[in-house]
């Protein structure tokens, strides 16, 4: 299946579009033969011809072959060996010595018709049987387990070969179609006439590429006129640029026509705890200064080009630019003097009062380079994938959409707020240009660089030096991502218990970006899987129900992340407490939102330090058997897992449907949707009560967007970098955890009602009691394993 880079499927679709992870080829009219430019395809066809001549081969030793540490459950049949449909007494052909005399070679035996029919029927139900299923099947059919194993390997390879033949036929047909279209264009060009004099056009003076660029230019002008007309219809006046406003809370449901609504629109506006309106001044300033003047644009382009050059060198060079990691486990650090000497262009020297943060990290992720570029350049997908880091993202102006049907050369002005999941760490607002380019060596790079110099009079608290990622294509749909984060910030407002984490670069640095991207790529690979893995248990019986449940969980996580920190439009109000355990609250109105119950929603959050390793806290909070120790709303009921979906290598990355069996016969049982996720930068346990009838619709593959959710949960971060010789035992930085507890509670079903002090006191009591229960439970446990 051919998938253009501009039409990547949504993060969670209802169709099994696993092909989104396949390679996408950009076809042009100048290609006379598709196969000439695809040596890999020619090689595949040659291998396919050879495979048709071989009775049976098996080149692997098991179904659970892993590549780069990633399990085959995520990768499907991509890594299955090429093989036939017969077996040699349970022994692979590769295991035989080709120099053996023919008389000593092991004989081949065809399976009986009954054995083949039984295994065919079993294959339709489960193409990946485990060891227990293979042993049981071999016992029923009178075969060796190894014979059954090889038969299933060969069968899967046979199905894959059939699919490849179909794809080859489609490619040939498309090649013929392009060739015919190419001929039509050439005929049209040969008979072209001048529109002024009617004589033959002097095509010799215009190259073929220039002609196509003129056609593309005319098409883009038409698109601008069409969008301006739509904007004038809905906003009331013509618009030159068409900003798209997005927030992680509303990205999945927002229409591009929602441009007239501020950043608080997802909740109908933010209010303080007594009903007063909170001014969203910062968001308004962003939109008022969105359009760039024509005089600024050449400077923006020059700055972006210099930033791209700097990013590529920052990603590729080592010492002396980057100091090697220490033996204590610390990450590599930037040599500031060497940086100033190498990169004199760009933003200039560091401004007074700002602190420099620089980090670099890399990882191999299960996603194609084209889809990664699409995520970074599409503001909605960007805010969705990085919802735990990006609290608000706005595309203010698109200066270039790229050329040749992809994002090569794309340039757009953005405003983004970056967050740490805690009310004690202020968000970082950055105004920058994002530039995407394909380099000469085939790698792709996406770079951000601040444009704050174009906003005179603004108070600069965060300046983004060239930051972004370098993407290198790898075999089998993988990509190597090297991420560089380099910012200058005023971090004086960060709470003391988070200072060590922020100063180490773990809070906003490259490791967190790469860890989040790696986990989200695994999650998306799980979503796109067409079969239900044997690890999934419970009431989920179809792939459609599985995808709907994962889509609902994704929206729940986005809603939680959007309500755990304050932003430019939504400010916290401190209720009570002392020191690090102040409870911060803010209220939001929910009106005409099918994904959230109508009324006044109270967000309450607090953060505190625990002298317990993050993994121990994460395992305790996600375990349904220990839920009654901290969950006050479950009233001590027995919690049972009704469904389980694994969506990553780590067994802690999963989505569960829990049922709380009430001990009181007068109370009905409660369903809870929970997602737990963990990576190298931190962990989350997020949950929300769900309606039984609505969940039945979701489990049957229905639309999850109409299920009302108010998520609560926990964000667990390390209290600093992990070092071999920790100093200061008993305090922050000694290997403990920074835990954020956040609740979203509907305190009044009437959106226009005033918030009562009684409701605030109840929520304050609830969050304080939950904190005390967690402290008592995890501190009383035995030492970590």
**pLDDT (tens digit per residue) in 308-317:** 999 999 999 8
Query: What's the pLDDT at 229?
Result: 58
- Distance (Å, rounded) from C-alpha 679 to C-alpha 317? 26
- Distance (Å, rounded) from C-alpha 247 to C-alpha 265? 9
Of 125 and 663, which is predicted with more confidence? Answer: 125
- Distance (Å, rounded) from C-alpha 670 to C-alpha 639? 9
3-state secondary structure of 399: strand
CA dihedral (624, 740, 422, 499) positive or negative: negative
> Quick check: 61 pLDDT over 80?
no
- Asked if 400 contacts 541 with a C-beta cutoff of 8 angstroms, the reply is no
Backbone phi, psi, residue 240, to 5°: -80, -50
- Distance (Å, rounded) from C-alpha 724 to C-alpha 692? 48
| Cis-peptide, bond into residue 320, ω within 30° of zero | yes
Q: Within 10 A of 23 (CB to CB), how many other CB atoms are there?
A: 16
pLDDT (tens digit per residue) in 190-216: 766 665 566 666 545 455 667 667 777
- Asked if 702 contacts 384 with a C-beta cutoff of 8 angstroms, the reply is no
Listed residue (307, 488, 275, 300) closest to 412, CA to CA: 300
- Asked if 281 contacts 263 with a C-beta cutoff of 8 angstroms, the reply is no
pLDDT (tens digit per residue) in 530-569: 666 655 566 677 788 888 999 999 999 998 988 888 665 5
> Quick check: 783 pLDDT over 60?
no
First to last CA, the chain: 47
User: How would you classify the pairing of strands 444-450 and 467-473?
Assistant: antiparallel
User: How would you classify the pairing of strands 390-400 and 411-418?
Assistant: antiparallel
> Quick check: 647 pLDDT over 90?
no
pLDDT (tens digit per residue) in 101-151: 544 445 556 788 888 888 989 888 898 899 888 888 888 888 888 888 999
Rounding to the nearest 10 degrees, give the CA dihedral for residues 550, 554, 556, 559.
-170
DSSP secondary structure string for all residues of 409-454: T-EEEEEEEE--SSTTS--EEEEEEEEEEE-TTS-EEEEEEE-GGG
Structure token digits, residue 757: 């002090």
Query: What's the pLDDT at 685?
Result: 95
Q: In sequence order, which residues have a C-beta less than 8 Å from that of residue 382 and are 6 or more positions away? A: 375, 376, 390, 393
pLDDT (tens digit per residue) in 495-517: 889 999 998 888 899 999 999 99
Of 442 and 568, which is predicted with more confidence? Answer: 442
Residue 273, Cα to own-chain centre: how many angstroms? 34
Domains of the chain by start residue, with CATH? 119-165 (1.10.10.60), 296-527 (3.30.530.20), 541-781 (3.30.530.20)
Please, which pLDDT band fits residue 595 given cuts at 50, 70 and 90?
confident
Listed residue (496, 270, 514, 292) closest to 413, CA to CA: 292
Please, which pLDDT band fits residue 781 given cuts at 50, 70 and 90?
low
In the chain, count of helices (H) and strands (E)? 17, 22
> Quick check: 492 pLDDT over 70?
yes
Place of tokens 């400077």: 299
Half-sphere exposure of 315 (CA within 13 A, CB side): 27
Query: What's the pLDDT at 307?
Result: 92
Q: In sequence order, which residues have a C-beta less than 8 Å from that of residue 545 and are 6 or more positions away? A: 698, 699, 700, 701
- Name the strand (E) or helix (H) holding 57: none
Q: Look up residue 265 and give its DSSP letter.
A: G
> Quick check: 14 pLDDT over 50?
no
Query: What's the pLDDT at 531?
Result: 65
High-pLDDT (> 70) share of the chain, %: 66
- Distance (Å, rounded) from C-alpha 677 to C-alpha 647? 9
Query: What's the pLDDT at 470?
Result: 96
Query: What's the pLDDT at 472?
Result: 94
Structure token digits, residue 332: 């590599």
Query: What's the pLDDT at 93?
Result: 40
Phi-psi region at 231: left, alpha or beta (left = phi > 0; alpha = psi -120 to 50): alpha
High-pLDDT (> 90) share of the chain, %: 23
Q: In sequence order, which residues have a C-beta less than 8 Å from that of residue 34 and are 6 or more positions away? A: 27, 41, 171, 172, 174, 175, 178
Query: What's the pLDDT at 634?
Result: 77
> Quick check: 426 pLDDT over 70?
yes
3-state secondary structure of 367: coil
Listed residue (500, 498, 508) closest to 726, CA to CA: 500
> Quick check: 698 pLDDT over 70?
yes
Name the range with the highest mean pLDDT among 20-34, 412-426, 443-457.
412-426
Please, which pLDDT band fits residue 73 given cuts at 50, 70 and 90?
very low
> Quick check: 673 pLDDT over 90?
yes
pLDDT (tens digit per residue) in 743-762: 988 888 887 777 777 888 88
pLDDT (tens digit per residue) in 87-98: 444 444 444 454
Bridge partner residues of 675 (DSSP): 655, 686
Structure token digits, residue 654: 């999963």
- Average pLDDT over every residue of 383-405: 89
Query: What's the pLDDT at 277?
Result: 34
- Distance (Å, rounded) from C-alpha 587 to C-alpha 268? 11
- Average pLDDT over every residue of 12-31: 38
Question: Where would I find the beta strands (DSSP E) of 150-304?
Answer: 244-246, 270-271
Name the range with the highest mean pLDDT among 252-261, 546-555, 633-642.
546-555
Query: What's the pLDDT at 226?
Result: 62
Whole-structure pTM over 0.85, yes or no? no
- Distance (Å, rounded) from C-alpha 232 to C-alpha 593? 26
Place of tokens 């093989």: 83
pLDDT (tens digit per residue) in 322-331: 887 755 556 7
- Average pLDDT over every residue of 728-739: 74
DSSP secondary structure string for all residues of 577-639: --GGG--EEEEEEE-S-TTS-SEEEEEEEEEEEESS-HHHHHHHHH-GGGGGGT-GGGTTPEE
- Asked if 156 contacts 126 with a C-beta cutoff of 8 angstroms, the reply is no
Listed residue (750, 754, 500, 747) closest to 609, CA to CA: 500
> Quick check: 437 pLDDT over 80?
yes
Q: Where are the alpha helices (DSSP H) in 635-702?
A: 692-699
Query: What's the pLDDT at 733?
Result: 67
Backbone phi, psi, residue 49, to 5°: -65, -40
> Quick check: 274 pLDDT over 80?
no
- Distance (Å, rounded) from C-alpha 334 to C-alpha 623? 40
Query: What's the pLDDT at 536?
Result: 59
3-state secondary structure of 5: helix
Q: Look up residue 388 and give its DSSP letter.
A: T
> Quick check: 363 pLDDT over 50?
yes
């Amino acid at each position: 299946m051919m998938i253009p880079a501009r039409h990547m499927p949504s993060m969670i679709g209802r169709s099994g579009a696993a092909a989104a992870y396949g390679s996408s080829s950009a076809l042009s009219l100048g290609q006379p033969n598709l196969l000439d430019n695809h040596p890999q395809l020619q090689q595949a066809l040659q291998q396919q011809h050879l495979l048709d001549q071989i009775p049976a081969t098996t080149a692997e030793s098991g179904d659970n072959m892993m590549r780069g540490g990633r399990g085959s459950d995520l990768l499907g049949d991509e890594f299955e060996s090429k093989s036939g449909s017969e077996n040699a007494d349970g022994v692979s052909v590769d295991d035989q010595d080709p120099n053996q005399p023919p008389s000593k070679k092991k004989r081949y035996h065809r399976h009986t018709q009954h054995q083949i029919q039984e295994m065919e029927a079993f294959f339709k139900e489960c193409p990946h049987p485990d060891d227990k299923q293979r042993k049981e099947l071999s016992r029923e059919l009178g075969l060796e387990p190894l014979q059954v194993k090889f038969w299933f390997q060969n069968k899967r390879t046979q199905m894959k070969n059939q699919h490849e033949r179909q794809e080859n036929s489609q490619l040939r047909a498309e090649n013929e179609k392009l060739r015919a279209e190419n001929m039509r264009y050439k005929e049209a060009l040969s008979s072209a006439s001048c529109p002024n004099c009617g004589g033959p056009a002097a095509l010799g003076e215009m190259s073929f590429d220039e002609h196509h660029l003129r056609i593309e230019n005319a098409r883009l002008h038409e698109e601008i006129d069409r969008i301006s007309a739509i904007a004038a219809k809905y906003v009331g006046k013509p618009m030159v640029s068409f900003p798209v406003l997005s927030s992680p809370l509303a990205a999945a449901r927002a229409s591009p026509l929602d441009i007239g609504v501020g950043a608080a629109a997802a909740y109908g506006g933010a209010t303080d705890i007594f009903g007063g309106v909170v001014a969203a001044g910062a968001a308004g300033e962003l939109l008022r200064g969105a359009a760039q003047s024509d005089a600024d644009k050449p400077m923006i382009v020059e700055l972006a080009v210099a930033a791209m050059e700097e990013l590529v060198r920052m990603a590729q060079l080592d010492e002396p630019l980057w100091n090697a990691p220490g033996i204590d486990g610390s990450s590599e650090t930037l040599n500031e003097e060497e940086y100033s000497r190498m990169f004199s262009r760009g933003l200039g020297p560091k401004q007074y009062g700002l602190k420099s943060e620089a980090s670099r990290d890399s990882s191999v992720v299960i996603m194609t380079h084209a889809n990664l570029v699409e995520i970074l350049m599409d503001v909605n997908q960007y805010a969705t994938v990085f919802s735990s880091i990006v609290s608000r993202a706005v595309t203010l102006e698109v200066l270039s959409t790229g050329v040749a049907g992809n994002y090569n050369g794309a340039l757009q002005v953005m405003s983004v707020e970056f967050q740490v999941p805690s009310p004690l760490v202020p968000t970082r607002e950055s105004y920058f240009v994002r530039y995407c380019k394909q380099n000469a060596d085939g790698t792709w790079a996406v770079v951000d660089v601040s444009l704050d110099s174009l906003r005179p009079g603004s108070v600069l608290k965060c300046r983004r030096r060239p930051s972004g990622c370098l993407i290198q294509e790898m075999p089998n749909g993988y990509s190597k991502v090297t991420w560089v984060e380099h910012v200058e910030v005023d971090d004086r407002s960060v709470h003391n218990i988070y200072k060590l984490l922020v100063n180490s670069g773990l809070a906003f640095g490259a490791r967190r970006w790469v860890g989040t991207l790696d986990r989200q790529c695994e999650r998306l690979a799980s979503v796109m899987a067409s079969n239900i893995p044997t690890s999934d248990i419970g009431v989920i019986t179809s792939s459609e129900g599985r995808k709907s449940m994962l889509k609902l969980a994704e929206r729940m996580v986005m809603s939680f992340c959007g309500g755990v920190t304050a932003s430019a439009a939504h400010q916290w109000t401190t209720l009570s407490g002392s020191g690090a355990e102040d409870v911060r609250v803010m209220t939001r109105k929910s009106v005409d939102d099918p994904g959230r119950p109508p009324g006044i929603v109270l967000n309450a959050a607090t953060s505190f330090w625990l002298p317990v390793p993050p993994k121990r806290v994460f395992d305790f909070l996600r375990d349904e058997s220990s839920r009654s120790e901290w969950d006050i709303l479950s009233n001590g009921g027995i919690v049972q897992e009704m469904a389980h979906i694994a969506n990553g290598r780590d067994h802690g990355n999963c989505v569960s449907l829990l049922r709380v069996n009430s001990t009181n016969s007068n109370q009905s049982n409660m369903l809870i949707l929970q997602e737990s996720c963990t990576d190298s930068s931190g962990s989350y346990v997020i949950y929300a009560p769900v309606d039984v009838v609505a969940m039945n619709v979701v489990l049957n593959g229905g639309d999850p967007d109409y299920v009302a959710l108010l998520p609560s949960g926990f964000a667990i971060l390390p209290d600093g970098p992990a070092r071999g010789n920790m100093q200061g035992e008993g305090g922050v930085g000694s290997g403990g955890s920074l835990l954020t507890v956040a609740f979203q509670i509907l305190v009044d079903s009437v959106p226009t009602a005033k918030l009562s002090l009684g409701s605030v006191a109840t929520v304050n009591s609830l969050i304080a009691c939950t904190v005390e229960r967690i402290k008592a439970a995890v501190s009383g446990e035995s030492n970590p394993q």
